[in-house]
Amino acid sequence: MPKHGLPQGFGGGNMLKQVQKMQEEMLRAQEMLEEKAYTSASGGGAVSATVNGKHEILSLTLSPDVVDPDDIDMLTDLVIAAVNGAMREADETAQKEMSRFTGGMKLPF
C-alpha cells in the first residue's frame, strides 16, 4: 500500500493534492470574507452600520436628525436594524462564496 494509506487505483496522491488545494482556496476565501466590509442602513439612511466578516462593527453613523433624547427607543431600534442588516449581508455573502466549495451545504460560518 502506498505511503498515503490509500490503495493503489484510488488516485490517492492526486486526490490528496486536490483536497489540499481546495482547502487552501477555502481558507483564502474565508480570510477575504472576514476582511471585507458590509454596510447596511435603516431609517431611510439615518443610521448606517458597517461590519466585517468577523461580525465586528467597523463604523456606526447616526444622522443628527435621528438623535432625539425623548425617543431613545426609536434610535435603538434603528441601530439594531442597521447592524443586523450588515451582519446578514456578511453571512449571506459568506454562504454564497463558500457554497462553491461545499456544493450548497450550509456551514456554520
**Which three cell numbers mark 22?**
481546495
Question: Three-state SS string across the chain, please?
Answer: CCCCCCCCCCCHHHHHHHHHHHHHHHHHHHHHHHHCEEEEEEHHHCEEEEEECCCCEEEEEECHHHCCCCCHHHHHHHHHHHHHHHHHHHHHHHHHHHHHHHCCCCCCC
Tell me, what's the pLDDT at 69? 93
| pLDDT, greater one: 108 or 75 | 75
Look at 16 and 102; give whichever has higher pLDDT.
Answer: 16
Task: Give the separation between CA 47 and CA 31, rounded to whole angstroms.
Answer: 28
Which domains are present in the chain? Answer: 37-101 (3.30.1310.10)
pLDDT one-digit tens code per residue, 32-59:
988 999 999 999 999 999 999 999 999 9
Q: What are phi and psi of 7, to 5 degrees?
A: -60, 150
